[in-house]
Structure 1
Amino acid sequence: MENERQKRYSTDVLLAEFFAQDDLKALAVDAGALLECPLLVLDDTFHVTAHHRPLGFTDPLFQETVRQGQITYEAGAVISQSDALSAGKADYVKLDGSEYRRRFAPLISSGVRLGYLICVDIDDHLQNIPPETWNTVEQVLAKQAFIETSRHDKPFETAEDILMHLLDGGFSSAPYFYLQTSGTYLADFHPTGFALIDLTAYHNEYLGKRHLKDELRARFPQSHSFLYRGDIFLFLHGTKDFNGFSALAEEFRLKVVMSDGLCDLFELPALYRTAHEALELMMDYRFHGGSVCMVAQLRTPLLLKNIEGRSDLIAKEIRALAAHDRENDTQYCETLYHYLTCCRSLKKTCDALFTHRNTVLYRIHRMQDDFLIPLDDSAVHADLLLGVSLLLFEEKGPDFFLHTMNKAESEE
């Protein structure tokens, strides 16, 4: 019986196919036949690059995924939320819209996560397949995906392909990029910015209603949304969409960040990097600043996040001030921060702290006399402000620096 099972899951044919041909689609078919299940091979943007569908197999969710060429945002949320997948291990998941359980596994080659293998467990036999068989199948598919991803002459099939290649830093010049956009909607496309949506906490509690992708199309019809590296990317046409995103984020438990203004599509990679870092900051456990933010609101905490932990950059006088605050539950660091950001205006500092003038004046004198902080030397103000800001970021988190955009600013 053991020999029969080993024969059943022999990987010889798959390995022979890998060495004989250079075709991920053919390997996917062989892998599906070996594992005796329907399967999908995804790239790192959650697009379907290959699949195997046995004769007679019917599953609306599987068939729609193949037809669309990408998994649903809901399936993307499963990947984003899985601790096992984040750790590089397989995970079994039941998706809404299908009666079958699925096995998700990351495809990793040379330390690079290239995508995912999704196998449909039509008769509950996948968990009985030997681990060494899974390991071989995943390694072969990952290596072939790596080979095909490395090809520089791969043609672009859609506008999404062009955009993702741009976001990956694949275009060396603007003229070459715009040459590739010819014949697509991108040739005459002028969005004002874009938004990124994190799916980590996604939840659709309205069973039977439209999925998130359908909701985005209905609420933001010109957004051209798509999945990119686990997040939803969509274009904006004016920042007045803020309120619409707030309602969407509350309904589906999302985190949304809206980029700075976009003047030229070729600028996307630089703006994307900042927006993605802002979205990651919003996922920080210390962040409680809301579900929808603009990058402009987060610039200061983003700067501080990038130097977090560098206590060596902070003057010893500031570190002593912070130690006093921690030991005595005082607010000298906050007072120093507001005093400097308010251009040493006593009134504005009192207003920012909601504190009586005499109390603030007492703290300022103590900072100068007891902690030897040179507040009268304008040459060191930038150093003092950076140091106390970094300490406050580590103590209080990004919320302390969250800039609230007013209506006039948000509509500029």
Structure 2
Amino acid sequence: MNAKDYEELYITLLDAASSGSFREIAEAAYRIIRHPIVLIDVEYNVVVQVPQEPIGDYIWDTLLKEKLVPAQMVWNFNKFEYVKANRESEGSIQVDWGMVEQLPRIMGGVRVGGEIAGYIGILYPEGIPDEDIKAGDILMKAFAIEFRRRMSFPAEVHPLRNVFLSEVYHCRIKTMEELEEWQRHAGMTIPGGYRMICAKPTGNVYESALIKYISSQIEKRLKGSYAIAADGAINILLSRQDMRPDQAESDKNLLDILKPILSDLKLQVGISGRFESILEIGPYIYQSRRAGELLESIENAGASAFYSDTVLEDIFSKIRAGISEVNSVHPAIFKLAASDKTNDTEYLSTLRNYLKQMKDSSRTCRTMNIHRNTLLYRLERIRQIAGIDLEDVNTCTHLLISFHLIG
């Protein structure tokens, strides 16, 4: 493009932006630039794509078909740091690495009020002339005008939605009267029966565009969910939860719903217990966050943990800092650990499993994959080495507590 082209592009896009739409801006730019143009928003939805036809580029053709950036492509964008590169640059940049090495393109973050509202891509199959970077800058300014004009629209639909959810999350609504007043002004009611979920992308990546994308996807896929990005995580208020007495069945049903979402969006989550009033939300926010933090302490937990599975570790993690192991841990544990080390035996793990299985010999044998006679022999040796009575309630309680204390 030469200086005359840039002048024409600037005037044309200014006219389109002042009276048109995203599509009119893109089509006007395409007539002058003559290279494929795509605009996506921060939730990775395709806003406009010109021309509306496949061109043999995997990314372009996928966006044309799906009308959004699929989850796996979002992760690849993050992996190759395209979003990071755009955030670190005020203008458009040439991108010729990672997924687009064979088909370079101009990319840029469209900013409104200093915040990125979307991203442009201009494809150049034959390579990008240095002077064409300027075309990306002009196009971003035109799109920014249209974004600015449209950004008030969601606020007109639910002007206080996000403020209301923030007030709920930060426990600033104290009475039913205040809650009802907020619901009336926000034009929304959150049906009863609740849980809190604290979600983080695998690897704890916290890129604001990625978080916005994940939040919108959760609300689309998870019925009755309200996502609130705060404190370095996505906090999800779930409504319409099963409040019947059978907690285990309720947990199972929720996991069945969550599993494909967690897998697709690559999330790890902590899940609170159930509660019946939004005014009670405070402790359950803590539960969901703490369950997520303690996820790794749960055997075979996978991508999720209920607070009920982590509550003992939560309690004992706080106790450990203020006690002496010598004074608090049952002496039998030290004796058995020393004996195992000297004789290459497994008495300590056998005792731990036996107590964990509530002294059920059959379950212990299945868990450890050993014969019943082997278990009986080991239990007798444990009694001899440690000098303990496994029929005594206080002894067993102390031993179980000790296992939690030593992790």
TM-score, L = length of structure 2: 0.52
* Aligned 8 A contact 1:202 1:252 in 2: no
1:365 matched to which residue of 2?
380
Q: Equivalent residue of 1:183, what SS?
A: helix
Task: Tell me, in whole angstroms, the C-alpha distance in 2 between the residues paired with 1:385 and 1:100.
Answer: 52
Task: Tell me, in whole angstroms, the C-alpha distance in 2 between the residues paired with 1:327 and 1:175.
Answer: 67
1:95 matched to which residue of 2?
83
1:56 matched to which residue of 2?
none
Task: Tell me, in whole angstroms, the C-alpha distance in 1 between the residues paired with 2:114 and 2:342.
Answer: 53
Cα–Cα, structure 1 residues 175 and 380, in superposed 2: closer, same or farther, change >3 Å?
farther
- C-alpha distance after superposition, 1:49-95 (max 9, x if no partner): xxxxxxxxxxx889999xxxxxxxx9xx99xx9xxxxxxxxxxx752
Please report how far the alpha carbon of residue 285 of structure 1 lies from its aligned counterpart in structure 2 after TM superposition.
8.5
Which of 1 and 2 has higher RCO (CA within 8 Å, sep 6+)? 1
- C-alpha distance after superposition, 1:146-168 (max 9, x if no partner): xxxxxxxxxxx734434434443
Cα–Cα, structure 1 residues 160 and 279, in superposed 2: closer, same or farther, change >3 Å?
same
1:355 aligns with 2:355: no
Task: Tell me, in whole angstroms, the C-alpha distance in 2 between the residues paired with 1:342 and 1:102.
Answer: 58
Task: Tell me, in whole angstroms, the C-alpha distance in 1 between the residues paired with 2:261 and 2:201.
Answer: 12
Please report how far the alpha carbon of residue 314 of structure 1 lies from its aligned counterpart in structure 2 after TM superposition.
0.8
* Aligned 8 A contact 1:223 1:234 in 2: yes
> Matched residues, percent identical?
18
2:304 to 292, 304, 307: 292
Structure 1 residue runs without a partner (length 5+): 1-59, 66-73, 82-92, 104-116, 121-156, 205-209, 394-412
Q: Equivalent residue of 1:387, what SS?
A: helix
Please report how far the alpha carbon of residue 277 of structure 1 lies from its aligned counterpart in structure 2 after TM superposition.
0.7
Match runs of 1:41-190 below 5 Å = 95=83, 99-101=86-88, 158-171=160-173, 176-177=178-179, 179-184=181-186, 187=189, 189-190=191-192
* Aligned 8 A contact 1:195 1:259 in 2: yes
* Aligned 8 A contact 1:195 1:257 in 2: yes
Please report how far the alpha carbon of residue 326 of structure 1 lies from its aligned counterpart in structure 2 after TM superposition.
4.7
Larger helix proportion, structure 1 or 2? Answer: 2
2:203 to 201, 204, 229: 201
Task: Tell me, in whole angstroms, the C-alpha distance in 2 between the residues paired with 1:339 and 1:100.
Answer: 55
Cα–Cα, structure 1 residues 356 and 164, in superposed 2: closer, same or farther, change >3 Å?
same
Task: Tell me, in whole angstroms, the C-alpha distance in 2 between the residues paired with 1:280 and 1:343.
Answer: 27
* Aligned 8 A contact 1:259 1:271 in 2: yes
Structure 2 residue runs without a partner (length 5+): 1-38, 45-70, 91-112, 117-158, 207-211, 242-249
Task: Tell me, in whole angstroms, the C-alpha distance in 2 between the residues paired with 1:341 and 1:287.
Answer: 13
Please report how far the alpha carbon of residue 290 of structure 1 lies from its aligned counterpart in structure 2 after TM superposition.
0.5
1:272 aligns with 2:264: no
Larger Rg: 2
RMSD: 4.3
Task: Tell me, in whole angstroms, the C-alpha distance in 2 between the residues paired with 1:287 and 1:377.
Answer: 28
2:349 to 334, 358, 382: 334
2:256 matched to which residue of 1?
243
* Aligned 8 A contact 1:196 1:232 in 2: yes
Task: Tell me, in whole angstroms, the C-alpha distance in 2 between the residues paired with 1:250 and 1:225.
Answer: 18
Aligned length: 259
Q: Equivalent residue of 1:224, what SS?
A: strand
- C-alpha distance after superposition, 1:268-296 (max 9, x if no partner): 110111110110112x4887520123333
